[in-house]
Chains A and B, each alone.
Chain A
Amino acid sequence: MSKNSKNKKLNNKSVNTAPNTNELTQVLICMGTGGVAAGALDVWASFKEELVLRNIPAMLGKRSCKVKQTGCRGLCAMDVLVDIIDPKLGKHTYKHVKPEMVSDLIEKHILGHEPIVKWFAGKDYEQFYVKQERTVMKQYGLVDPESIDDYIEAGGYIALKKAFKMEQVEVIEEVKKSGLRGRGGAGFPTGMKWGFCHATHGNDKYIIVNADEGDPGAFMDRSLLEGNPHAVLEGLIIGAYAIGCNHGYFYCRAEYPLAVKRLKIAIEQANEHGFLGDDILGSGFNLDVKVKEGAGAFVCGEETALMASIEGMRGMPRPRPPFPAHQGLWKKPSNINNVETFANIPLIINNGGDWYAGIGTEKSKGTKIFSLTGKIRNTGLIEVPMGITIKEVVFDICGGIPGRKRKFKAAQMGGPSGGCIPESLVDVPIDYDSLVEVGAIMGSGGVVVMDNTACMVDMSRFFLTFTQQESCGKCVPCRIGTKTMLEILTRITLGHGCEGDVDLLISLANDIKGSSLCGLGQTAPNPVLSTIRYYRDEYDAHIREKRCPANSCKALLKFEVIEELCKKCGICLKQCPVDAIIWKPKTKAVIELDKCIKCQTCIDACPFLAIH
C-alpha cells in the first residue's frame, strides 16, 4: 500500500476536506480512561447543556446536532480530544478541550461555520497517525461503544454472519492462514490453538477471553473493551462457533469497572439482536457468555490460574499437562485467548487470512497495538504493522523524548516478564522473534520509555518488587528466589551492595527461570538479566562507587547543585514544595539541606540535570 493511500484512509486528521454527505453535525468526544481523567465528562455535560439551553438543533434548521461519546483514539496526551464534524466543512479535531471552551466552539464553529484554528490538535496529531496502520482500532473515535447500532452501521457483525455460513474447520483454516499469533504474551499461533480444542469431543467446552491485562503500564485491552467491546465479542462468538463451545467467559480485571460495564451492555445488546443465546442466526448453535470480575491478582492472567479463579478458588497455576484444550475450566476442554487476539478475528474473516498475512513480517503477521508511556512526548495507544522499528515508534510516531537534556535511554517491553531495549538497538524490528533475541519480549504490548534520568537498577528492583508481591507462593523457586533477588537489588540501590552481587543475581535468575512452575516465575528474572546485560556499569557504579549515575536512587543522592551545570534559571525554586531552595536571578541555586524533604521534585524539574 502506498503511503498516500494509507494517509487517506485515516480520517483522523485535523482537517479533512471531504464533506460529510449527511446533514448531521456531530460532536465526538473521547471518553476513554484518559479522556475521562482529563475531564471529558465535564466537557460532555457542557456540550449537552449548551445545546439544549440554546436550542441549537432548532437553530440549525432541518439539520441537527448530535453529541457522541467515543472510545480512546490513542493520543491520551492531548485529551480531552473533540471532533466536530460539520456536513460542509468536514472534520476538525480540537485538543485539550475544557468546559469553558465549549460555548465558543458552538458559537463559532457549529453555528458560525468558522473553526477555531488556535485550538486545533494540529501537526503533532497528524504526525501521530502517519506511520500507523489502524485496522483493529479503525472504528475507534467513531463508534459509540455503548451502541450496537453504531457498530453494525460501521460494518459490525458482518464477519459473524459470514463465519456462520462457513464450516467450522474453514473458519479455523482461515485463522491459520492469517498467521495470527496470540497477543497475550507468548505469541502462540491462534489457529493451531483453536484446532486443538476443536478436536475434542462435544460442545460442552469453554471459551475464555483473557481480559486480566496484568502488565502494569499496558492498557490496550482496556481501551479495546471500553472503546469497541462489540469487536471483541464478535471475535469471541466466531471462535466459539469454530471450536464448538457453548459457554463463554470474559475474565476482566476488577480495576476496569468501565470496561466491565460496557461489556455487559454489549452482551445484552448482542443477546437482543440474536447474536448470542440459543440458535444464533438460525444456525442451531448456542452460546451463553458471562463476565467474571477478577479480584486483584497478577498471576490470574496466567491461563490455568485464571481458570482456578473463575472456579472461585485461589488463583494458583496448575502444572501442565493436562493442557486447557483437554482439561481446562471445570475440567472441560477450554480455549483461552487474549482480548486483542479476539479483536483481530472479525477482520480476518471479513478480509480473508491471506490479506492479514500480507501485513507484517514473515513470522509475525498483522498489526499490533502498543501502549506507549513513560518519558515520551505523545503518550498513548498506537497500532502499527509488525516489523516496524522501535526508533520509528518512539521518534516518528510518538515525538521522541521531551526536555532538552533528556535523551532516550531504553524502552522496556513486556513488563515484569520482559526486558529493555537500549539505545544501541533502536533499529531492531518489533516482531516476536527479534525481540526475544535481544532479551525482551512482545508481551502484551506495553512499551515504557525511559530517559537518562531513569536508573536501571531501580527499574529491576521495581519489577522484582512487583513479581515478588504477586508470586502466588505455590512453588519454592519463585516464592523464595524472587525474594532473595529483591533483597539483593534493594541493598544495591541503598548503597550497601557488595562485590559479587551481580554474579549472584545472574545465578539466582537462571535457577528461578529453570525451575519455576508457571510463566510468572519463569520470566520474573528477565528484567534483571536484561538490565545487567546492557547496563552492567550502572550496577557497578552503585556497588563500587555508591553512586547512582542517573541520579534517581534517593539514598545515594547528595541534593547538591552542580556548579558547572547550573544555568541559574530558577526553575527548581518554583517547584520546590517546601521552599528549601535559595536562588536569585543570575545566581546559582543552593539547596538548604535542613529544610529539604528529599522529594526529588527539583531533580525532576531541572532542565539541565544539574542536581545530584
Chain B
Amino acid sequence: MCDNNDKPCCGAHKEIDFGAADEILNQYRGKEGVLIPVLQKIQAEYGWLSQPLVEHIARELNIYLSEVYGVVSFYSQFYTEPRWRYTIQICRGTACHVKGSLRILENIEDELDVKAGQMTKDGKFTVEEVNCVGACGIAPVVILGQKTLGSITVAETLDALRNFEEQ
C-alpha cells in the first residue's frame, strides 16, 4: 500500500479505473496516427502514464507494447513516474541560460533537496527543467504552478518558493 495518501499513488498495486481512458480511446479507435494525441489526453486525465495504463492503451489500439513505450520514452512530455500537481519548471533555454538560469536551478535543487526531474520528499513539488518556453524577452523564467515568473533572481525564486500557496 502507499504509505502516504497525500502523494500520488505509484499505481503498481492498485486497480486503475480505465473508464476515462476508454472514453478517450473510443474517440480515436480505428484512425491513423492517433497514438500521440491518445497518450496526451490520457496523461492529462491521469497525471502520468503508469505501466497498467500503457499496457491497456497498447492492447486497445492493437499496437505492440514496445512501440508504445518507444513513443512514450522518446518525447519529454510523457511521464512514466508519478508527479505532483505543482511543478516548478525552470527554463533552460539559451536566453535564460545567459541570464543565469543554471544558478536558479541549482539553488532550487539545494533548497528543496531534490534533483531536476524528481518530486520533493513531501510530495509537494516536482522540479523540472524545460527548454525555452518562448518568454525569452523576460528571461530568466521560472514557472511555478500556473504562474510565470519573469526576470527573476535567485533570491526572488527562493522567496516565491517559500511563500508558495497551494491553490
Please list the residues of chain A having a beta carbon within 8 angstroms of any beta carbon in chain B.
Answer: 33-34, 36-38, 76-77, 79, 213-219, 222, 253-256, 292-298, 309-315, 330, 371, 373-375, 379-381, 412, 415, 446, 448-450, 454, 459, 462-463, 466, 472, 575, 577, 597, 599-601, 604
A255 touches B94 (CB 8 A): no
Complex Cα spacing A310 to B71, Å? 12
Q: Which residues of A contact B76 (CB under 8 A)?
A: 295-297
Do residues B95 and A448 form an inter-chain contact, with CB atoms below 8 A? yes
Q: Which chain B positions have C-beta within 8 A of A292? A: 36-37
19 other A-B residue contacts (CB within 8 Å) besides A34-B135, A297-B75, A312-B34? A37-B148, A76-B137, A79-B138, A216-B93, A219-B134, A294-B75, A312-B33, A330-B33, A373-B94, A373-B95, A375-B99, A379-B137, A446-B94, A448-B95, A466-B131, A472-B74, A597-B107, A601-B103, A601-B154
Give the nearest-CB partner of B141 in chain A: A37
Residues of chain B in range 97-126 having any CB-CB distance to chain A below 8 Å: 97-100, 103, 106-107, 110
Measured between alpha carbons, how far is A415 from B98 in the docked complex, in Å? 12
- Given A374-B98, A412-B94, verify A297-B155 contact (CB < 8 Å): no
The 27 listed contacts between A and B (C-beta, < 8 Å) are: A34-B138, A37-B135, A213-B134, A216-B92, A216-B93, A216-B96, A219-B134, A219-B137, A255-B132, A293-B40, A312-B34, A312-B36, A314-B71, A330-B33, A371-B136, A373-B139, A379-B136, A381-B137, A446-B136, A448-B94, A449-B98, A454-B98, A575-B153, A575-B155, A601-B153, A601-B154, A601-B155
Q: How far is the CB of B67 from chain A (nearest CB, A)?
A: 8
Chain B residues near A449 (CB-CB < 8 A): 98
Pairwise interchain contact B137-A295, C-beta atoms closer than 8 A:
no
Q: Residue of A at shortest CB range from B150?
A: A37
- Tell me if B158 is interfacial: C-beta within 8 Å of chain A: yes
In the complex, which residues of chain A have a beta carbon less than 8 angstroms from the beta carbon of B23? none
B residues in contact with A446, CB < 8 Å: 94-95, 136
| CA gap between A466 and B129 in the complex, in Å | 12
For residue B35, CB closer than 8 A to chain A, the reply is yes
Give Cα A516 to B32, complex, Å.
Answer: 30
- Within the complex, the shortest CB–CB distance from A467 to chain B, in Å, comes to 11
Check A450–B98 contact: CB distance below 8 A: yes
Question: Given the interface contacts A293-B40, A295-B36, A296-B77, does A217 sit within 8 Å of B95 by beta carbon?
Answer: yes
A-B CB pair tally, cutoff 8 Å:
158
How far is the CB of B27 from the nearest CB of chain A, in Å? 14
Report the Cα distance A33→B148, complex, angstroms.
Answer: 9
Which residue in chain A gives the minimum CB-CB distance to B38? A312
Chain A neighbourhood of B92, CB < 8 A: 216
Q: How far is the CA of A313 from the CA of B75 in the complex (A)?
A: 10
- Residues in chain B near residue A297, CB distance under 8 A: 74-76
Whether B135 pairs with A33 at a CB distance below 8 angstroms is yes
Contact of A314 among B70, B103, B131, B153 (CB under 8 A): B70
The reply to whether B155 and A76 form a contact with Cβ atoms under 8 Å apart is no
Closest CB of chain B to A125's CB: distance in Å?
14
Is A216 within 8 A of B132, CB to CB?
Answer: yes
Q: Cβ of B94: which chain A residues have Cβ within 8 Å of it?
A: 215-217, 373-374, 412, 415, 446, 448, 462-463
A254 and B77 contacting across the interface, CB-CB below 8 Å: yes
Q: Are B138 and A296 in contact (CB under 8 A)?
A: no
B133 interface residue (CB < 8 Å to A): yes
B95 touches A312 (CB 8 A): no
In the complex with contacts A34-B150, A216-B92, A312-B71, A379-B36 CB distance below 8 A = no
In the complex, which of the residues B32, B74, B78, B136 contacts A315, with contact meaning CB atoms closer than 8 Å? B74
Q: How far is the CB of B29 from chain A (nearest CB, A)?
A: 13
B130-167: which have CB < 8 Å to A?
130-139, 141, 148-150, 153-155, 158
Are B135 and A309 within 8 A (Cβ)?
no
Q: Report Cα–Cα, A579/B9, bound state, in Å.
A: 40
Contacts of A298 in B (CB 8 A): 131
Give A403 to B131 CA distance when docked, in angstroms.
28
CB contact between B133 and one of A255, A373, A466 (< 8 Å): that residue: A255
CB distance from B95 to the nearest CB of A (A): 4
On chain B, the residues within 8 Å of A466 by CB distance are: 131
> How many angstroms from the CA of A453 to the CA of B138 in the assembled complex?
19
Q: Which residue of A lies closest to B136 (CB)?
A: A373
Alpha-carbon distance between A264 and B53 when the two chains are bound, in angstroms: 29
Q: Which residues of B contact A313 (CB under 8 A)?
A: 35, 70-71
CA distance A373 to B103 in the complex (A): 18
Please tell me which one of the listed residues A37, A309, A599 contacts residue B154 in the complex, with CB atoms under 8 A apart.
A599
In the complex, residue of chain A having the shortest beta-carbon distance to the beta carbon of B89: A255
- Which of A76, A296, A600 is close to B75, meaning CB atoms less than 8 Å apart? A296
Interface pairs A-B: 10 shortest CB-CB: A76-B137, A216-B93, A217-B94, A216-B132, A295-B75, A373-B95, A296-B76, A296-B77, A312-B33, A312-B35
Which chain A residues border B150 with CB–CB below 8 Å?
34, 37-38
Give A449 to B95 CA distance when docked, in angstroms. 8
Given A37-B150, A295-B78, A577-B155, A380:B137 Cβ within 8 A = yes
- What mask results when residues 44 to 86 of chain B are scored 1 for a CB within 8 Å of chain A, else 0? 0000000000000000000000000011001111100000000
Q: Is the CB of A217 within 8 A of B75?
A: no
Q: Nearest chain B CB to A247's CB is how many angstroms away?
A: 12
A311 & B134 in contact (Cβ 8 Å cutoff): no
What is the distance, in angstroms, from A32's C-beta to the closest C-beta of chain B? 9
Q: Which residues of A contact B34 (CB under 8 A)?
A: 312
Contact indicator B99/A38 (Cβ below 8 Å): no
The distance from the CB of B62 to the nearest CB of chain A, in whole angstroms, is: 13
Chain B contacts for A575, CB-based, 8 A: 153, 155
Task: Please report the C-alpha to C-alpha distance between residue A463 and residue B110 in the assembled complex, in whole angstroms.
Answer: 24
Q: CA separation between A385 and B90, bound complex, in Å?
A: 34
Bound complex: CA A446 to CA B134 (Å)? 11
How distant is the Cα of A371 from the Cα of B132 in the complex, in angstroms? Answer: 13
- Distance in angstroms between the alpha carbons of A459 and B77 in the assembled complex: 25
CA distance A298 to B130 in the complex (A): 12
Say how far B12's CB is from chain A's closest CB, in angstroms: 24
A318 to chain B, nearest CB (A): 15
- Are B98 and A373 in contact, with the CB atoms below 8 A? yes
